[in-house]
Chain A
Amino acid sequence: MQTEIEVRADDWLINAGLVGFLNIVGKENVRIDGQTIYFTADLLEDFETKYFNFFIKEYKETLSWSKIVSYKDIMERFRAEDFASFDEEALANLNKYMKDVVKFYLKKSNYIKVFSLIDAKANVNKWLENLNTINLTKKQKWEDVKADIIEKVKQNYTQLDAIIDFCASDKGLQYLAAKNLIYSVINKGWSGISFLLKQTKIMDPYLDYKTSFVDPIIEYLDTDLSKAKYNCFSCNQPIKNLKLDLSFMNEVGFDTARKTAHVWDFNNDVATCPICRLIYSCVPAGFTYVYGEGMFINDSYGVDELHRVNERMRNSILRFNKDGINSTNTYRALVESITMEHENNRRYELADIQLVRYENEHYRFNLLSKKMLDIVNDSRGILKSLIRCGYKEGNLNINLYKEVIQHLMNNENLFTLIHKLIYYKQTNVNGLYYNMGHVSGILDINTKFLKEMEVMTNISQKQLWFVQNCGAEFKEGYVTKKSENKISGITYKLLNSLKVNDKDGFMDTLLNSYSYLAKPIPNVFMNVFTNDEAFKSVGYAFMLGVGGEKTKKEDGGNTDEK
């Protein structure tokens, strides 16, 4: 029997699995040597419990289980004071809790399946039936019926006690949380086998995991592989057959039985050894998920570093977040964890780091270049102000922070975004949560970006601010001439020319307008014709000035306030 099992860091997917594996078993229980980890087979004992425990520990607060259990505190409080402060609001909350939380979740077939595993004697259905919503008719006055109601509440409380105790028990947590996690976290990484197979015959997800992933390893380690024909696709260890393919990994594998067109000459050789398969099953533990979006930093310099960076990111996403968890925070946490790293660490000067995101059920890849990190680091102040900014597109809420970071990560300039933001603001679209100052900040970031990319060098930040000022003066000119209503038409024309990079068109409109005002055109416009980016930067800076909210304030209020 092989004494030590070796797993090497490799591509991003196995790396994510590796980080997940380290998270599950604990870094201290394995031997890390550069790009490789070593561990003995006895570490796999009771691995399934460790596997779920890790997820429970990380995601406990986000689970519906904790919604059910956390009500206990409120109940205890009312009991302690003998329902003295129990009022209509508390009653409404209780009703809501019973209907939307307890009955809603505990009637799901997922959970029902594991009730017998938690406590075979418990009759959850009966408890739920005995939970009755307490209604107040319109005629009844709270003071008159309070005593009655509290009596009813007490009855409900006894049922709830039973339910919460049932859920909060060790086994309750173990199974209910596991069931919850399977569908909220683990299925982001893989699906279709073991407890994620719809037709699975094993009720107990722990056992299911053990039979699918852990047991095969023990068996594999005991097998004589001297005559094995095949090799593991990932680690190149000998394997006997090609049964274990990668089709269970989301977005990565393919069904080798049905479609072999992905491999050379239609002869499938994509199969893994049980050890690699176990590592792959740990991918969800390597990623950090929030609202279905996941992130993984594939900093594969060494396993130690790989683990550390991802741990820091997970910590800032799931724990240190005072504003609560939301979808922009994944990006913020990423930026913070990386820029923090960036300050303390010289090594990022050399390397381009791969960032893997899981979004809308697809994996997306970016390289975090030094340039991008520099820009983000330089613009931290502006970025911070964008965290709560956004706009609505149909039913979709778009967050500016996220949008900007995404653009930067994809090495895209921000002109289209800036265009959109100015345009929306000018046309008074509903659901805009930003002001021109924010857009101006984005333009600043964009200028930095263009300079980093070395596509634009001749425009300074100062000049842009000057142009912005010119835009404001331009608008003032129209206001003093009592022709504010012309501005929207001009804005429209100017924005259009900017969008299609029509310098002549832009200048024509500008010249026309300035001649209407009988003023000279600011000299800075003359320097901008050297390249498209400079032209756009200056153009948009001008538009920001024109679109400023100055005059609206003078009228006493924003037009947005409807």
Chain B
Amino acid sequence: MRLKINCDFDSKIIPKDFQSKVVSLFKAGITKSSPERYEDLFGGNKHKQYTFSVYLPKPRNKGAEIHLDEANCIINFSTGDAETGIIFYNALISLKGSKVLFGTGNHITIKNIQIVPEKKIIGNRTVLRTLSPIASRAHDRETFKNWFYSFEDEEFEPTLKRNMLPYLMDAFGEQARYDLEKLKITPISMKKVVVYCHEIHIESSVGIFELEAEAYLQKYLVDNGLGTMTGSGFGMVEQF
């Protein structure tokens, strides 16, 4: 289920850490429309079965701020879980037309929400394009330190698989482990980017790549985001 959310800003300046502001927007909506679900979604540290990306018109980095050409943006939202989809849809529609704080004195207003038709996934290979960067994170259990890899690193793919394994196992069971091992990412036109999110700089990858995996895995990853931190606006891909 894909939603395309058209939004307006008050001014053309938005904070650099805009992903977390979008999450705040979601949270505000859910608190309003279905507060009983808030705890389920944001209460603990668990994998989010959704992903989003933000399209900004010609953004220019200026220190802690981003300057835009026009005072609007498009939030793309995707989830494979119908229930989550409804919660978010209802949340966003309840905010429609009202101003929500977006940092740096700016406000965001949801103008309209559109449903984006999904393409079918056929076969074992698809060429995908990232809408938001893919994060691959190595977490050190002892020092609690994170290290992020981009596609150029050798560790990128194994770490990515390690990131995805627990939630794929949750969704599909033991079978997912074997199918995940066979998954292959071949960069076609990728580049490394560093994203500032939640007060840290994250090394990640954007661009076009080929994904080779079982169709059900592909569908799950296209629907719910690829890699880790999908709930914070990472790993959203679309068929190219």
Partner-B contacts on A (CB < 8 A): 503-504, 506-508, 511-512, 514-515, 518-521, 523, 525-526, 529
Contacts and interface: CB of A to CB of B under 8 A. Distances in A.
8 contacts: A507-B82, A508-B1, A514-B89, A515-B114, A519-B93, A520-B89, A526-B86, A529-B82
Given A520-B33, A520-B94, A526-B86, 15 more contacts: A503-B82, A504-B80, A504-B82, A506-B82, A507-B86, A508-B82, A508-B115, A511-B1, A511-B86, A515-B115, A519-B93, A521-B90, A526-B37, A526-B87, A529-B82
Contacts of A520: 33, 89-90, 93-94
B176 to A, nearest CB: 19
B85 interface: yes
A330 to B, nearest CB: 44
A462 B121 CA distance: 40
Nearest to A529: B83
Interface in B102-147: 112-115
Interface of B: 1, 33-34, 37, 80, 82-83, 85-87, 89-90, 93-94, 96, 112-115
Contacts of A514: 89
| A interface: dominant SS | helix
Contacts of A503: 82
A518 B80 CA distance: 22
Contacts of A512: 115
B27 to A, nearest CB: 17
Residue of B37, B80, B89, B94 contacting most chain A CB atoms (<10 Å): B89
| B interface: dominant SS | helix
B82 A515 contact: no
* Closest 3 A/B residue pairs (Cβ): A507-B82, A520-B90, A512-B115
B90 A504 contact: no
A508 B94 CA distance: 19
A512 B2 CA distance: 10
Nearest to A512: B115
A511 B114 CA distance: 10
A503 B37 CA distance: 19
Contact of B34 (A504, A506, A518, A526): A526
Given A507-B1, A523-B34, A515 B86 contact: no
Contacts of A525: 86
Contacts of B34: 523, 526
Contacts of B37: 526
A521 B82 contact: no
Contact of B83 (A518, A519, A526): A526
A503 B114 CA distance: 20
Contacts of B33: 520
Nearest to B34: A523
Contacts of A504: 1, 80, 82
A511 B85 contact: yes
Contact of B89 (A506, A515, A529): A515
Given A520-B33, A526-B37, A511 B89 contact: yes
Contacts of A511: 1, 85-86, 89, 115
A526 to B, nearest CB: 5
Nearest to B94: A520
Contacts of B96: 518
A518 B93 contact: yes
Nearest to A503: B82
A508 B80 CA distance: 10
A526 B231 CA distance: 20
A187 B96 CA distance: 74
Contacts of B86: 507, 511, 521, 525-526
A504 B78 CA distance: 13
A519 B114 CA distance: 12
A514 B96 CA distance: 14
A512 B118 CA distance: 12
Nearest to B79: A504
A527 to B, nearest CB: 9
A78 to B, nearest CB: 75
Contacts of B113: 515
Contacts of A515: 89, 93, 113-115
A52 B78 CA distance: 77
A293 B224 CA distance: 57
A520 B96 CA distance: 11
B75 to A, nearest CB: 15
A523 B112 CA distance: 20
A414 B82 CA distance: 25
B40 to A, nearest CB: 11
